[in-house]
Amino acid sequence: MTSRLTTTPSRRTVVKAAAATAVAAPVLAGAAASSASAAESAPAFLHGVASGDPLPDGVLLWTRVTPAPDAVPGSGKGAATEVRWEIAEDKAFTAVVSGGLTTATAASDHTVKVDVRGLRPGTAYYFRFTSGTVVSAVGRTRTAPAVDAAASGVRFGVVSCANWESGYFSAYRHLAARADLHAVLHLGDYIYEYGTGGYPAEDEVVRRHEPRHEITTLADYRTRHGNYKTDADLQSLHAAHPLIAIWDDHEIANDAWSGGAENHTPGTEGDYAARAAAAKRAYFEWMPVRASTEGTVYRRLRFGKLADLHLLDLRSFRSQQASVGSGTVDDPERTITGRAQLDWLKSGLASSDATWKLVGTSVMISPVAFGSVPAYLLEPIADLLGLPKEGLAVNVDQWDGYTDDRKELLKHLTDRGIKNTVFLTGDIHMAWANDVPVKAATYPLSQSAATEFVVTSVTSDNLDEILNVAPGTLSLVAATAVKAANRHVKWLDMDHHGYGVLDVTAEHSQMDYYTLSDKTRQDATASWARSYRTLNGTQKVERVSRPVL
């Protein structure tokens, strides 16, 4: 998510929302105290259990063992510790189908990852870990349908942008409570790298993360990941559903690109390559995610003949963001994907025999212009999206800043007659439902190559926080103005936090959008807001009157 550009003031200083700083200030300290107390009977499983990247015959299992009270994340302390894992068909573990021993060491921050194979397709399983006499919480996971199965449906929770200091992870709690999900798709910004008060501003911090300073080293990133995984709602989500995740920039640093980041100063923060390598190493240690052969997160998962899910890495290979107004956004030498990844994506889309081609992209692919937005709304929207205050119609951190890659990809879809491509997106702290036009200027007279569903943030600031107004106050005015300038945008919500639920059947891909009552409250409620779907073969989104469930 873009928060600063050299041509504009930093969002760290611009954002002046009213924060509920009186809420839950002791939570982090309380969690730390609880963790320390539990660790007195070391070893202990203080960071929950998780599963991820489901396959027809397997799934990745994860946990972290604390072998001694001082062996906290990032410390490098603690003896090698033997951990047993089990996976069973029932929660009581009377029907264990697989298990084994592994050793957690300081070299991997005492995290444990087990890639279990030999399971049955389309089946729910339970798993747990044991060290000595200590048994972890029990997690539930689910394998994908068989590769050639005519699956009747698949359903994903969809989330992005969870800033610890901006609020509570109630969205995760509500998704954890659902029994109908096959997996949860996290589209990036699982953690944030800022120091306390960096974003949001100091007077807007709801709860303080650890470490308090901006994270730049391997120990720092490990500590921050460990901090996030003390959150009870996040632990519940991981225990309830397998996670499918990609990273965006804040898992490393704001506006990251292949050779640097906006939020990285080589003179005081060291070599960027070393920082990025540390961030990625900690990510793969702490997340139930399989690394590709290149050590990135772009990969492909299949859910029977119903859907292929293509997951992108839009930070590791991209060119540096263009200067706004420089005219270089169309330069064919600049890339957001890198040549190898774009070729991989094009090949996978062309060869897929699945009904739906889902693409997990951390930043929005649909073009957006803001020329008709009223002046009083333009500045906060520009700040949120990383645009100059003059309102030039380009967001250089998204596909808008790398138009040649987008043009090539959309041309590939139309030339090959590839139908039912749906982009699933996070990053910009707003919810959108878009057609993806080949030529935005002439749409809808010109063709739509795909559709796109964008989910809002779990907690990270959006328009109502920036302007210090009640949620919904500006939605009608702002949305009307943006839609007037962008005929392919069918709906957007600039004011709320929440999550999505994507329901995929042979007939449709439908996104149900849910919003939270108050991100500063641990007991926030969730309510359905809107639903949009694209029907098989249409390449366009339409509103529907109710959620799938």
Query: How confident is the model over 244-289, as pLDDT tens digits?
Result: 999 999 999 999 999 999 999 999 999 999 999 999 999 999 999 9
pLDDT in tens, 399-423: 999 999 999 999 999 999 999 999 9
User: Which amino acid is residue 89, in one-letter code?
Assistant: E
pLDDT in tens, 169-202: 999 999 999 999 999 999 999 999 999 999 998 9
pLDDT at 441: 86
Q: How many angstroms separate the CA atoms of 486 and 368, rounded? A: 6
| Of residues 494 and 184, more confidently modeled | 184
* pTM of this prediction exceeds 0.95: no
pLDDT at 40: 57
Instruction: Tally the residues of the chain.
Output: 549
Q: CA torsion angle for 194, 472, 516, 22 (degrees, to 10)?
A: 60
pLDDT of 230 higher than 60 = yes
The sheet carrying 541-544 orders its strands as 111-116, 58-64, 49-55, 243-245, 183-186, 154-159, 498-504, 508-516, 526-535, 541-544
pLDDT at 3: 39
Structure tokens at 208: 């303080």
pLDDT at 359: 99
Mean pLDDT in the chain? 89
Average pLDDT over residues 471-477: 71
Of the candidate ranges 76-85, 252-261, 380-389, the one whose mean pLDDT is the lowest: 380-389
pLDDT at 387: 56
pLDDT in tens, 370-380: 766 666 676 67
pLDDT of 548 higher than 50 = yes
Of the candidate ranges 163-177, 356-370, 473-487, the one whose mean pLDDT is the lowest: 473-487
Would you say 118 and 143 are in contact if contact means Cβ atoms under 8 Å apart?
Answer: no
pLDDT in tens, 149-174: 999 999 999 999 999 999 999 999 99
Would you say 149 and 120 are in contact if contact means Cβ atoms under 8 Å apart?
Answer: no
pLDDT of 388 higher than 80 = no
Structure tokens at 259: 């050779």
pLDDT at 210: 98
Would you say 509 and 431 are in contact if contact means Cβ atoms under 8 Å apart?
Answer: no
113 dihedral zone (left: phi>0; alpha: psi -120 to 50; beta): beta
Residue 312 φ then ψ, to 5°: -110, 155
pLDDT at 494: 87
The DSSP secondary structure of 341-367, one letter per residue, reads HHHHHHHHHHH--SSEEEEEESS--S-
Would you say 206 and 147 are in contact if contact means Cβ atoms under 8 Å apart?
Answer: no
For helices 272-286 and 218-228, give the axis angle rounded to 10 degrees: 30
Residue 38 belongs to what H/E stretch?
A: helix 27-38
pLDDT of 221 higher than 70 = yes
pLDDT at 32: 43
Residues 6+ apart with CB under 8 A from 477: 374, 377
pLDDT at 386: 58
366 dihedral zone (left: phi>0; alpha: psi -120 to 50; beta): beta
Owner of token pair 């890339």:
335
Cβ neighbours of 100 (radius 10 Å): 11
Q: Is the dihedral of CA 350, 354, 357, 359 positive or negative?
A: negative
Owner of token pair 């839009």:
314
Distance from CA of residue 471 to its chain's centroid? 23
pLDDT at 213: 98
Residue among 350, 354, 353 nearest 418 (CA): 350
pLDDT at 394: 65
Of the candidate ranges 319-328, 354-363, 456-465, the one whose mean pLDDT is the lowest: 319-328
Q: How many angstroms separate the CA atoms of 531 and 546, rounded? A: 6
* DSSP classification of residue 296: S
pLDDT of 23 higher than 90 = no
Architecture of domain 11-41+144-544: 4-Layer Sandwich (3.60)
Residue among 307, 143, 290 nearest 299 (CA): 290
pLDDT of 56 higher than 50 = yes
Of the candidate ranges 392-401, 471-480, 519-528, the one whose mean pLDDT is the lowest: 471-480
Share of the chain above pLDDT 90, in %: 79
Domain residue ranges of the chain, discontinuous segments joined by +: 11-41+144-544
pLDDT band at 526 (very low <50, low <70, confident <90, very high): very high
